[in-house]
Amino acid sequence: MKLKSKKILVTGAGGFVGSHLVERLLNDGCEVSCFVKYNSRNDYGLLEDLPVEKRRQIEIIAGDLRDYNAVNEAVRGIDIVFHLGSLIAIPYSYLHPREVFETNIMGTLNVMLAAREHDVPKIVHTSTSEVYGTATYVPIDEKHPLQGQSPYSASKIGADKIVESFYDSYSLPVATIRPFNIYGPRQSARSVIPTVITQVLSTDEVQLGAVDPTRDFTYVSDVVEAFVDIAALDETAGKVYNIGSNFEISIGELVEKIGSILGKKVEITQDDRRLRPERSEVQRLWADNSLAQKTLGWTPRVTLEEGIKRTIEWISVNLDRYKIGIYEV
């Protein structure tokens, strides 16, 4: 399926990855509608970062994923749905699990119901590596057991299973992309790389939670490429694709790397507020991306060092957006 000139709906379009995906789809000549959560400020999130000429090309649909009528109307007449909309912050899910479950599970159900009603030719649903929990073996392939170690991960497991059931029960042409830790320009300090960069740019001390867990980081443009690849191929329906670098690094080593790139020796201070409950901490994530390589021809192009440099460059220019030293849930 060629995406050019297709009518595309992106849920969660105002978020970090969503805004990058929208920009890519516009560059590819797609007709893009953006579903963003309504707010009284008329704020479209990170879509505001797009050049004015790009913003003028998109249709904004403000609503709530939990409202089936809003979702149903947004899906009408659409060729491809990219479903990224969700509440993603793990610490927030500890505080407000009901809202997270309602948004991530019922929101996904509403998207699948609407896509089925309107016979949408292709849907790409966004999962997360958090559904795997702490690795029982590495690298983690798509057959790895799912473990709900946080309300957020449990909500995403529920959403993923809804998607699976709609493919099996109704032959809905939906594929699941399962990115590991994404990073890059526009990301908030709720994620570890911007958290570290903003602090290193401002001080010689970095406040963090656990530093021993490992993560597999993928630059945002590589993840966007995978979204497009999955949407373009009919044979991806019913499949789950790990999108990661096939490389793990501990949080402590990550801090050292960022400090080295910036030419600073950084001292790490543990902030207990940033620690996950002991059994909820995911100790190890390392992606096996061989299925994506084989099926999509996808491999990450941006190395971790190059991606960090690009992210530092963007954050340095936009440092005033960040509340440095304040822990944001």
Q: How many CA atoms lie within 13 A of 302 on its CB side?
A: 19
pLDDT tens sequence across 32-67: 999 999 999 999 999 999 999 999 999 999 999 999
The band of 328, judged by pLDDT with boundaries at 50, 70 and 90, is confident
Give me 270's structure tokens. 């543990």
Q: Which of 320, 4, 17 is nearest to 179 (CA)?
A: 17
239 within some domain: yes
145 within some domain: yes
pLDDT tens sequence across 241-292: 999 999 999 999 999 999 999 999 899 999 999 999 999 999 999 999 999 9
306 within some domain: no
324 within some domain: no
Question: Does the pLDDT value for residue 90 go beyond 90?
Answer: yes
277 within some domain: no
278 within some domain: no
CATH code where residue 164 lies: 3.40.50.720
Q: Can you give the pLDDT at residue 251? A: 98
Question: Does the pLDDT value for residue 325 go beyond 80?
Answer: no
Domain that holds residue 166: 7-183+218-243
Q: What's the number of domains the chain is made of?
A: 1
Rounded to two decimals, the pTM is 0.97
Question: Does the pLDDT value for residue 327 go beyond 90?
Answer: no
Average pLDDT, the chain: 97
90 within some domain: yes
Torsion of CA 306, 309, 313, 316, to 10 degrees: 160
The band of 85, judged by pLDDT with boundaries at 50, 70 and 90, is very high
Contacts 24+ apart (CB under 8 A), 47-55: 47/13, 47/14, 47/18, 47/19, 47/22, 49/19, 49/186, 50/19, 50/22, 50/23, 50/26, 54/23, 54/26
69 within some domain: yes
pLDDT tens sequence across 202-236: 998 999 999 999 999 999 999 999 999 999 999 99
Q: Can you give the pLDDT at residue 329? A: 87
